Amino acid sequence: MPYAVARHFDGDNSELLGVPRERTMGDRLHLEAAKLLLERRIITLTGLAVAMRQAAEWGSTLARTLISGGQVRPMDYYKAVADVYGVRFIDLQREPIDETLTRVEDRADYAERNIVPWRRIDGRMLIATTEITAEHFMWGDERFGPDNYDFVITSPFDILWETQKLFRNWDSFFAREALYSWKPEHSAKFTVTGPQKATLCVLLGGLVLSLIAAPFQTAVVLMATFTTIYSLTFVFKFILTFVGSSRKADMEISPEAIAAIDDATLPVYTVLVPMYKEARVLPLLTKALKGLDYPASKLEVKLVLEEDDTETIDAAKALKLPGTFEIVRVPPSQPKTKPKACNYALQFCRGEFVTIYDAEDQPEPDQLKKAVLAFRQGDPMLACVQGRLNYFNRSENWLTRMFTLEYSQWFDFLLPGLDWLKVPIPLGGTSNHFRLSALREVGAWDPYNVTEDADLGVRLAQEGYTVGVINSTTYEEANGVLPSWIKQRSRWIKGYMQTWLVHMRHPIALWRSIGTKGFLSFHFFIGAPPFTMLLAPILWAITLALWVTHSFDLGWLFPEPFGTMALFNLVIGNLFLVYFGVIAALKRKYYDLVPVGVLLPVYWVLHSVAAYKAFWQLLFNPHYWEKTEHGTSAITQKTLESVKQEAS
C-alpha cells in the first residue's frame, strides 16, 4: 500500500498527482473530513452545523473548532483527514519516529509547523504532518529534494509528544541555559560575579577598618545613609501611590470595546499553567479556563507538569479535557523552578500572545480579549500587559486580609504608578500577557531567578520594550498559612535580591538602558525593599533602646538633619505607609479591610522574618524554589466540591 501522496508540484500547477490539489487545501479538506466523520457517526449533523458557524465567526478552521469543542478526538479527526488525502494515518506513539532522521536545527519547525520526518521506507522519506500544503512541500523539497519523499498524516498532539520525547535533553538544556549562553550577565546562575565579590570585599573591609579607626563617626555615617534611604523610599512610594490612585493611571478597556471585537480577527492565544503536585486544584483551574471569553479554537492551553509529578498528570488525563488543553511534561533537571518549566513549554507555543496562570487562578473571563486590545492599540514596543491580581479568600484570616491589602496596593496603585512614570515594572508571577515574539527576543525567563517575573520586567525595559497594566483582575488564593506564607515571601525577597544583584553587575549599562528615572525606580522598588526589611529590626531595636529603656543615650547617632529625618520616617513615614495600605482597600471597595489595615506594622515584622530567611538562602541555596502550597483555603475547598458535584 502506498503510504504517501505522490506528487509533481510546481508553484502554478494546482494538480497533485493522485490527489487533486484543491482537495488537499483549506476549507474543502476539512469539509471532506467532516463528511467522513458524519458517516462514521463520530459527529452529529447539528454538531457540525454549530461548529461550522463557530468556525466562520471565529475565523478558525473546522478542524480546530471541532477538536477544541470536544466534539471529536484529534486522532479520529486526523484519521479522516488521512482518508481524504488517501494516505495512511500514523499513530506516532505506536509507530514512533526514527530519531536518526531528525535534526536539532529543525526543532522549531517540528513544533511550529507540525511537520517531522517519520521513517525511511524503500528509500523514500516519509514525512509526518497534519496537513499537506505548498508550504509543506517546500519544506520537504529543501531538505530531501523533490520526488524523494512522501507524506503521512498524524495528529498534532502526536507530533508534540513524540518530538518532546526525542528532543527531551535538548529542550531541557535550552530551557535551562539559553539565557545564560546568550547573555550570561543577565542570568542569576551565579549570584555574584567576580568583580561584584571584589567590590563587596572592599566595601566590607573598608567598613570594618572604619569601625575600628573611627567607630562613632562610622556609625553616624551609616545611620545617616540608612535614614536617607528610608526617606527616599518613602517619598517614592508616596508619589507612586498618589499617581497610581488616579483613575487616569488605569489602562481602561471598556466593555464596549470588548463587545466590538470581531472574534474572527483574534489571534491564537497560548495559556501556560505551570503546576507541581497540584492535582487537587486542577478541576478549579480547568473550570476557570473553560470560562474564558475567547474562541476555543484559538486557545492553546498548556498544562506544564513535571515528568515525575505523575499524580497531577494522571489527574489531568482523568479530566478528559477538550482539545484546547495539552499536557507538557518537563524533564527533571536542576534548577527545578517555574521559569525553567515555562521556558521548556515556550518551545511548543504557537500563539501570537502567551500568558501564565497559576493553578488556583481565576481570571476575569474577558482578560485575554482585553490584553489583545491593549496590544493592538498600545505602543508597538508594548511587550507585556500585566493583569491585576487579587484574592478571593481575603476574609479568611488576618494573614489573608493583610495579603489582600498588600496586593491591592501593589497592583492597583504601585504598578499603575510605575506604568505612569514609564519606568521598569517588576511583573507579577501570573496573569502577565506577552507578545510571544518579544518574549523570545529577550531570552524568556531566567530559570535561575526565583522572581523571574520581576527580573523579566527589568530586562524588557532594558531592551526598549514597555509594560502596561490592564483593568482586569485575576483572583488567586491568598496564602493564609503562616509557614507557607514565610516560604513564599522569602522566595520573593530572595528573588528581588537576585534581580538587584544581577542588574547591578553593570550599573552604568543599566542606567544607560533604562534612563535615570528608571534607574532610580529600580533601586527604590527592587533594591531598597529587601534592604529595608533587613534593616528594620535593627532600627526598631535602636528605637526601643532610645525610647523605652532610657538607660543609654543614642542621640549622637542622629545629628541634624538626620535626627529629624529619622523621626519623620519613624512617625509620619511609617504611619503614612499604613495609610497607603488602608486606602488600597478603597479602590476595591473592601471596606471591611480598612480598620484591619492599622495592623500592617505587625505584617511588616513578618516581612523582616522572611527577609532574613531569604538572605540566608541567597547565600547558601540561591536557586531553591520554595513551593507555595495552593488549595489550602476553605473557600477553595468549597468551590472544588461544587465543581466536582457539577461534573458528576
Chain residues in the site for another protein (CB under 8 A)? 241-242, 245-254, 256-257, 259-260, 373-374, 377-379, 416, 419-420, 468, 563-564, 567-568, 570-572, 575-576, 579, 582-583, 585-587, 589, 591-592, 594-595
**Measured from the CB atom, is 371 or 458 closer to another protein?**
371
What gap in Å lies between CA 153 and CA 158, rounded to an integer?
A: 10
> How is 419-476 classified by DSSP, letter by letter?
HHHT---PPPSSSEEEEHHHHHHTTS--TT-TTHHHHHHHHHHHTT-EEEEEEEEEEE
**Measured from the CB atom, is 415 or 536 closer to another protein?**
415
* Closest separation in Å from C-beta 117 to another protein: 46
Q: Which residues pair with 330 in a beta bridge?
A: 306
**Measured from the CB atom, is 401 or 491 closer to another protein?**
401
* Closest separation in Å from C-beta 426 to another protein: 18
**Measured from the CB atom, is 173 or 576 closer to another protein?**
576
Residue with cell 532610580: 520
**Measured from the CB atom, is 324 or 473 closer to another protein?**
473
What gap in Å lies between CA 6 and CA 90, rounded to an integer?
A: 17
Task: Compute, in degrees rounded to 10, the torsion defined by CA atoms 568, 569, 574, 575.
Answer: 10
Q: Which three cell numbers stand for residue 644?
A: 466536582
* Closest separation in Å from C-beta 261 to another protein: 9
* Closest separation in Å from C-beta 542 to another protein: 15
Q: Ramachandran region of residue 355, left (φ > 0), alpha (ψ -120 to 50) or beta?
A: beta
* Closest separation in Å from C-beta 377 to another protein: 4
* Closest separation in Å from C-beta 544 to another protein: 16
**Measured from the CB atom, is 592 or 641 closer to another protein?**
592
Contact between residue 476 and residue 390 where contact means Cβ atoms under 8 Å apart: yes
**Measured from the CB atom, is 172 or 408 closer to another protein?**
408
Q: Which three cell numbers stand for residue 597?
A: 489595615
Of 42, 425, 191, which Cα lies nearest the Cα of 33?
Answer: 42
Of 22, 340, 311, 17, which Cα lies nearest the Cα of 173?
Answer: 340
* Closest separation in Å from C-beta 555 to another protein: 10
Residue 140 amino acid letter? G
* Closest separation in Å from C-beta 249 to another protein: 5
What gap in Å lies between CA 417 and CA 240, rounded to an integer?
A: 5
Query: How far are the Cα atoms of 78, 263, 293, 350, 457 from residue 58, in angstroms, in the given order?
Result: 21, 5, 12, 17, 32
* Closest separation in Å from C-beta 441 to another protein: 22
**Measured from the CB atom, is 540 or 568 closer to another protein?**
568
What gap in Å lies between CA 358 and CA 363, rounded to an integer?
A: 10
Contact between residue 134 and residue 114 where contact means Cβ atoms under 8 Å apart: no
What is the sign of the dihedral through the CA atoms of 160, 163, 165 and 171? negative
**Measured from the CB atom, is 426 or 468 closer to another protein?**
468
Q: Which residues pair with 618 in a beta bridge?
A: none
**Measured from the CB atom, is 289 or 385 closer to another protein?**
385
DSSP H or E segment with residue 218: helix 215-244
Contact between residue 67 and residue 74 where contact means Cβ atoms under 8 Å apart: yes
* Closest separation in Å from C-beta 310 to another protein: 44
* Closest separation in Å from C-beta 571 to another protein: 4
Pairing of strands 325-330, 299-306: parallel
* Closest separation in Å from C-beta 396 to another protein: 18
**Measured from the CB atom, is 221 or 261 closer to another protein?**
261
* Closest separation in Å from C-beta 559 to another protein: 13
Residue 46 amino acid letter? T
**Measured from the CB atom, is 303 or 557 closer to another protein?**
557
**Measured from the CB atom, is 501 or 585 closer to another protein?**
585
What gap in Å lies between CA 628 and CA 630, rounded to an integer?
A: 6
Pairing of strands 269-275, 115-121: unpaired
Of 395, 391, 541, 369, which Cα lies nearest the Cα of 471?
Answer: 369
Q: Which residues pair with 391 in a beta bridge?
A: 476
